[in-house]
Structure formats: C-alpha cells, structure tokens
Amino acid sequence: MVVRVAPELRLLVGRRWRAETVEVGVSGTDTVGHVVESVGVPLTEVGGLRLDGRPVPPPTRASGDVVDVAARGRPQPAPTDPPRFLLDVHLGSLARRLRLLGLDAAWYPDGPDSDDDALVARATDERRVLLTQDRALLRRRALPDGALVRGTGVDDQADDVLDRFAPALAPWTRCVACGGALHPATADDVAAHLEPGTRRTYTDFSACAGCGRVYWRGAHAARLELVVARAREVVERRRRAGVSR
Ligand SMILES: [Zn+2]
C-alpha cells in the first residue's frame, strides 16, 4: 500500500520514508489508522484520510492501494473555550511560558500525577489537550485530545502551540510557577515576601491566589514584554490567515 503524506507532516515520517510517497506492507487486519501511525504520524496530527480517493475514518480496514494523509487544519478548535492544556513531564518550560501568556497549562513535574496513565486520565476528566513530544503517548486510544509539539526550544514550541490553537491571550494574569490566578497587591500586603530593596524600588505587585508567590515588574520585564509581543503576533497572524486547510 502507498501512503501519501501532506507536506506539513513529512517531517514526522521516519527518515527512510521522507519521500512524497511511502510504500508500506499491510497485513489483513491492519486499519488505515494503524498504517498511518506505522509511518510515524500520530492521528492527532491528521486532518483527514482518504483511501483510494474516498474519505474514510481511521478504523477502516486497510484494503486498497493508496492512502492520502491530510494535515490537521489550523487554528484547531479545542474541546473547551478557552482551551485547557496538560503538558507532559518534559515540557516544563513550555508550561511556564503558556502561563505567562495567561493560558491554563497544567503540568506535574514528578510523582504519580506525571505518569502516562495519569496524564491520559486527567486529560479525559478535565477535557484538556495533552501537549507532548512523545508519539507513543499520543497513540493511546483512551486519549481524547492531544497535540504533538514541534520544536526543540521553548520559543519554537510556544510558537507551534499558539499557531495551532490561536488561543485568546491574557498575559500577566497567572502565576508561572503553579498556574494560579494573580491578584493585585500592595507593598504592605506582600512585605513578608520582599527584600527591603525590592520593597523600596517597586510599587505594583501581584500575588498568586494558589501558592502565594509575589510578582513585580523587575529586571526581566523588557525581555518578557518581547515574549508577549511575539506571542500576540503569532496568534494574530493565524487568526488573520483563518483556517489553513
Ligand atoms: Zn502560584
């Protein structure tokens, strides 16, 4: 059977298959979905499948000659609005970045909440989109919504998620450490958390309703403003472009 993968998905295909068409051996019980996964493309990344030109769902028996694999359209609707994300253990920097932008990004760095079963259960219960770079995790049948994050650094990864979902941003409203809501606070409110120098230099503070961490516009403000500006640009560009396919 020949698999033709959309150009946007070709980087996901194993190196030896990175051609326009991929020849795959198929056994009698294989489904079209299995065949597509076997060349390295998680079904979460697929916008539509055609078997010999006819649109088919992934569980269709793979009896035919050619499968065409389309990429998922962007922006992709999330199961909730605003979208809620759950990030796997390796994506801590991305979780902090998404929180800086005001997005609901759950992340459990260790312990029983961070193993694959727990992630799939939580994504299901809380209607979260699971963000990961682990394709095996995305192949879990029980997982309702997942997305393969492209990029090796946090900037590229954030661009990918923002371009994919084009979510409404609310920068500076969440704690980057825990994702809790920030509320305004005075220097007196937060005095116990501050060094004397900080207390003298700054007047506008916010505090996290979840973990109590205190924030103020300090030395990193200019860099973070750039991060926020870039994020807004990515979302705006995607929204202007509309659905890509
Ligand atoms: Zn917090």
Query: Cα(161) to centroid of ligand 1, in Å?
Result: 22
Query: Cα(232) to centroid of ligand 1, in Å?
Result: 23
Q: Which CATH number does the domain 2-71 belong to among 3.30.460, 3.30.750, 3.40.50, 3.10.20?
A: 3.10.20
Chain CA centroid to CA 167, Å: 11
Query: Cα(169) to centroid of ligand 1, in Å?
Result: 18
Statement: residue 187 has pLDDT above 90: no
Contacts with 121 (C-beta within 8 Å, 6 or more apart), sequence order: none
Query: Cα(29) to centroid of ligand 1, in Å?
Result: 50
Nearest residue to 129 (alpha-carbon basis) of 117, 143, 118: 143
Query: Cα(176) to centroid of ligand 1, in Å?
Result: 7
Query: Cα(78) to centroid of ligand 1, in Å?
Result: 25
Query: Cα(209) to centroid of ligand 1, in Å?
Result: 7
User: Which stretches of 19-141 are assigned E, i.e. beta strand?
Assistant: 21-23, 46-51, 54-56, 66-71, 84-87, 104-107, 129-132
Cα gap 232→44, rounded to integer Å: 25
Give the pLDDT score at 99: 98
Strands 104-107 vs 66-71: parallel, antiparallel or unpaired: unpaired
Cα gap 86→95, rounded to integer Å: 8
Query: Cα(213) to centroid of ligand 1, in Å?
Result: 5
Query: Cα(67) to centroid of ligand 1, in Å?
Result: 48
Statement: residue 162 has pLDDT above 70: yes
Give the pLDDT score at 201: 82
Give the pLDDT score at 245: 56
Better-scored residue on pLDDT, 227 or 197: 227
Q: Of the given ranges (75-89, 105-119, 192-206), which has the lowest mean pLDDT?
A: 192-206
Contact by Cβ (8 Å): 171, 100: yes
Query: What are the tens digits of pLDDT across the range 105-131?
Result: 999 998 888 899 999 999 999 999 999
Query: Cα(177) to centroid of ligand 1, in Å?
Result: 5
Contacts with 54 (C-beta within 8 Å, 6 or more apart), sequence order: none
Query: Cα(208) to centroid of ligand 1, in Å?
Result: 5
Would you tell me the crossing angle of helices 221-241 and 92-100 to the nearest 10 degrees? 80
Contact by Cβ (8 Å): 217, 225: no
Query: Cα(214) to centroid of ligand 1, in Å?
Result: 8
Q: Amino acid letter at 160?
A: D
Query: Cα(82) to centroid of ligand 1, in Å?
Result: 20
Query: Cα(182) to centroid of ligand 1, in Å?
Result: 8
Q: What is the mean pLDDT of the chain?
A: 93
Could you state, in order of their start, the residue ranges of all structural domains in the chain? Answer: 2-71, 74-245
